[in-house]
Amino acid sequence: MARLTEGLLSGISGRVGPIVGSNWNGINYVRSRPHRSKSKSKQSTAQLEQQAKFSLATKFLQPMKDLTMVTFRDYAGKMTGFNNAISHTLKNAVYGIYPDLKIDYRLTLIAKGMLPNGVEPKVSSIGDDSIRFNWKDNSGMGIAKAEDKALLVVYCPELERCFYTFESAFRNAGTATLEVSYFQDRQVHTWIAFVSLNGKDISPSIYTGEVKIA
């Protein structure tokens, strides 16, 4: 309990409501009580679950932040492309019962747009720390052009690292090989998308599966 040391205007010692009185070097002063953040024990299960989901989605996309700033830019609205990618992942790809939450990589998007993707894309490990992407050339379908650049994305959950490139091959090549020795002997998830030569048009990504880098 606080007490008045020398009358109402002379000083307060202790706590009175939201203020604390004290004395330093003979000077009486008052300060506000420090604000205490809400402890996890006082947060609802729903709040903790939402925080965990957001953390999981952010951890997944953080290595691709610079990429998603570009590949989600047309749908970002008042958000950044990165935040839009997080929002999509939260709504579509995070599942499970808290606290056992996971990401269904098959339902994630790494890029979003109106440009057609390649047809029937596939990926396979070919040794020498490399993987190969294959797709059917669909140049001329809608706004798809032969010189559209393939965007290849590889993500390793174990290392929480990502590798991606726009410079692997054009659409009409139908194939591209990617060397990813950093992920040797580890499982990775893969995606493919296409970007127009001028960089203005982007396709929605397609999840091409999980492979082990040999």
Q: What is the pLDDT of residue 41?
A: 62
Q: Does residue 145 lie within any of the structural domains?
A: yes
- The reply to whether 136 and 205 lie within a common domain is yes
Q: What is the DSSP string of the chain?
A: --EESSSTTT-EEEEETTEEEEEETTEEEEEEPPPPPPPGGGS-HHHHHHHHHHHHHHHHHGGGHHHHHHHTGGG-TTS-HHHHHHHHHHHHTEEEETTEEEE-GGG--S---SS---EEEEEEEEETTEEEEEEE--TTSTT--TTPEEEEEEEETTTTEEEEES-S-BGGG-EEEEE-GGGTTSEEEEEEEEE-TTS--BPPPEEEEEEE--
Q: Do 158 and 184 lie in a common domain?
A: yes
State the pLDDT at residue 14: 55
Give residue 43's pLDDT: 86
CB 174: neighbour CB atoms within 10 A? 18
Per-residue pLDDT in tens (0 to 9) along the chain, 214 residues? 444 444 444 454 555 455 555 555 555 544 555 555 555 567 899 999 999 999 999 999 999 999 999 999 999 888 999 999 999 999 999 999 999 999 999 999 999 999 999 999 999 999 999 999 999 999 999 999 999 999 999 999 999 999 999 999 999 999 999 999 999 999 999 999 999 999 999 999 999 999 999 9
pLDDT, position 42: 78
Domain match, 168 and 214 both = yes
The domain tally of the chain equals 2
pLDDT in the model for residue 61? 98
Domain that includes residue 89, residue range: 43-109
pLDDT at residue number 23: 56
The two three-digit tokens of residue 81, written as one number: 């492309």
Residue 20 pLDDT: 55
Shared domain for 138 and 203, answered yes or no, is yes
Domain boundary among 109, 133, 165: 109
Residue ending a domain, among 57, 92, 109, is 109
Tokens linked to 199: 């960089």
Residue 203's pLDDT is what?
98
Indicate whether 61 belongs to any domain: yes
In this structure, the answer to whether residues 132 and 100 fall within a common structural domain is: no
**Does 182 lie in the same domain as 163?**
yes
Residues 123 and 189 sit within 8 Å (Cβ to Cβ):
no
* Token pair for 132: 């190969």
